[in-house]
Structure 1
Amino acid sequence: MKVIMLGPPGAGKGTQASRLAARLGIPQLSTGDMLRTATEKGTPIGLAAREVMARGELVSDAIVIDCVRERIAEPDAAAGFILDGFPRTLGQAVAFDAVLAAANTKLDAVLELKVVEAALLDRVILRACEAKAAGQPVRADDNAAALKVRLDAYRRQTEPLAQYYRDASLLRTVDGMLPVDRITTRLLIELQL
């Protein structure tokens, strides 16, 4: 099963992607993790990403796409994967479609978590408090100012992907305001599992 998770920051994509990945026995893939791993391994893609990041620049779509292409070709992703945080733009979505077509495969579903924006700040603050209480590092972007910037970027760049995938008959929307277990159940139903 090849799945993309969509939703604004704080919607619960990571939580739900992790739950679905465990249930389906497939990896949860985050572009941030993929880039860090490629950089640590010193792969050509990782070295290119490291060079860009060292200059303080954003990693290009081409590098991100190459990183995703490389990662989904690994043996643990042969039965599928759940992409969390990718694609972020229409350009990335179109390029990823080409990657899948070249591999003679396609997406099974795009799962969108719909959340009331007013609740997102509460969720982000709660996530930061829980991380701190557990002795874990608090994400640098788990604050009101960063959330505003991330939401603006989401609305501008990522939100249009819902229509793109709706037009491709892949989009499945679930109420992200439900309790966590109920969201997981709804997602599994949408995947017909």
Structure 2
Amino acid sequence: MRIVLVGPPGAGKGTQAAYLAKNLAIPHISTGDLFRANMSQGTPLGQQAKEYMNAGRLVPDSVTIGMAEDRMRQEDAAGGFLLDGFPRNLAQAEALDAFLKADGMALDAVLDLEVPEDEVVKRIAGRRTCRTDSSHTFHVIYSPPKQEGVCDKCGGELYQREDDSEDTVRKRLEVYHSETEPIIDHYKAQGLVVTISALGKVAEVTGRAMEAIAAQAA
């Protein structure tokens, strides 16, 4: 199966992508992983991306598209894949359409994870990270530390990252609405979009997603 996963920041895309890819026995292809792999391996595309990032500039679509196409051509993706974070805008979606068509392939579903905006803000703005070890994370509502402001694991100070502040989250949502949401209409016109609620426990959301994908593919 070939699936695109979309949804606003805080919808749980990364978590769901990992579970869905495992259940469907297809590789999980995320934009973040593509960038890290290409830059660490020193590929031409990775070097280009690094130059843009070091200069404080946005990496152009052509570089991101090139990385995604290279990854989708790899042997383990021959039977399908789950794309997470790509396509991020209409230009990338149109490039993906052209790539698949040229190779005689097509998407099976575009899974849209739906979360109310206030819930997104609550999920992200409530995160707290340990200054001593950033892998230690908590949430003021969903997984609070035993002592406020103190990491349970090492006693380090917990703080709110700048990226997790409410103002930053709302700006990220504005970007999502303006740049990424249009791809949902693009794929709706192709009859590919299935929308599910991303509220509830992780396993519940995964179950809904698997049912929606199965129904779309039937």
* Both proteins in one fold, TM over 0.5: yes
Could you say which residue in structure 1 is the equivalent of 2:132?
none
| Separation in structure 1 between the aligned mates of residue 44 and residue 34 of structure 2, nearest angstrom | 13
More helix by share: 1
Could you say which residue in structure 1 is the equivalent of 2:171?
149
| Separation in structure 1 between the aligned mates of residue 66 and residue 92 of structure 2, nearest angstrom | 11
Could you say which residue in structure 2 is the equivalent of 1:89?
89
Say which SS state the counterpart of residue 199 (structure 2) adopts. Answer: coil
Q: 1:185 to 1:102 in 2, by over 3 A?
A: same
| Separation in structure 1 between the aligned mates of residue 196 and residue 137 of structure 2, nearest angstrom | 26
Say which SS state the counterpart of residue 113 (structure 1) adopts. Answer: strand
Identity %, equivalent residues: 41
- How many angstroms does 1:141 deviate by? 2.3
Letter in 2 for 1:143: S
| Separation in structure 2 between the aligned mates of residue 85 and residue 7 of structure 1, nearest angstrom | 9
Say which SS state the counterpart of residue 173 (structure 1) adopts. Answer: strand
The CA deviation string for residues 97-142 of structure 1, in whole angstroms up to 9 with x for no partner, is 111112221111000011111111121134545625578xx87622
| Separation in structure 1 between the aligned mates of residue 4 and residue 44 of structure 2, nearest angstrom | 26
| Separation in structure 2 between the aligned mates of residue 148 and residue 122 of structure 1, nearest angstrom | 11
Say which SS state the counterpart of residue 26 (structure 2) adopts. Answer: coil
Note the 1:1-193 alignment, pairs <5 A.
1-128=1-128, 131=137, 141-192=163-214
Does the 8 A contact of 2:125 with 2:169 survive in 1? Answer: no
Letter in 2 for 1:165: Y
- Greater RCO (Cα-Cα under 8 Å, separation 6 or more): 1
- Aligned alpha-carbon RMSD (Å): 2.1
Letter in 2 for 1:23: N
Letter in 1 for 2:23: R
Structure 2 residue runs without a partner (length 5+): 130-135, 139-150, 155-159
| Separation in structure 1 between the aligned mates of residue 174 and residue 118 of structure 2, nearest angstrom | 14
Q: TM-score, normalised on structure 1?
A: 0.91
Say which SS state the counterpart of residue 36 (structure 1) adopts. Answer: helix
Aligned residues: 192
- How many angstroms does 1:179 deviate by? 2.6
- How many angstroms does 1:42 deviate by? 1.0
| Separation in structure 2 between the aligned mates of residue 55 and residue 98 of structure 1, nearest angstrom | 31
Letter in 1 for 2:180: T
Letter in 2 for 1:162: I
More deviation, 175-184/29-38: 175-184
Letter in 1 for 2:63: I
Q: 1:35 to 1:139 in 2, by over 3 A?
A: farther
Q: TM-score, normalised on structure 2?
A: 0.81
The CA deviation string for residues 37-67 of structure 1, in whole angstroms up to 9 with x for no partner, is 1111111111111111121111100010000
The CA deviation string for residues 138-189 of structure 1, in whole angstroms up to 9 with x for no partner, is 8762221221111000010111111111110000000112332121111111
Say which SS state the counterpart of residue 214 (structure 2) adopts. Answer: coil
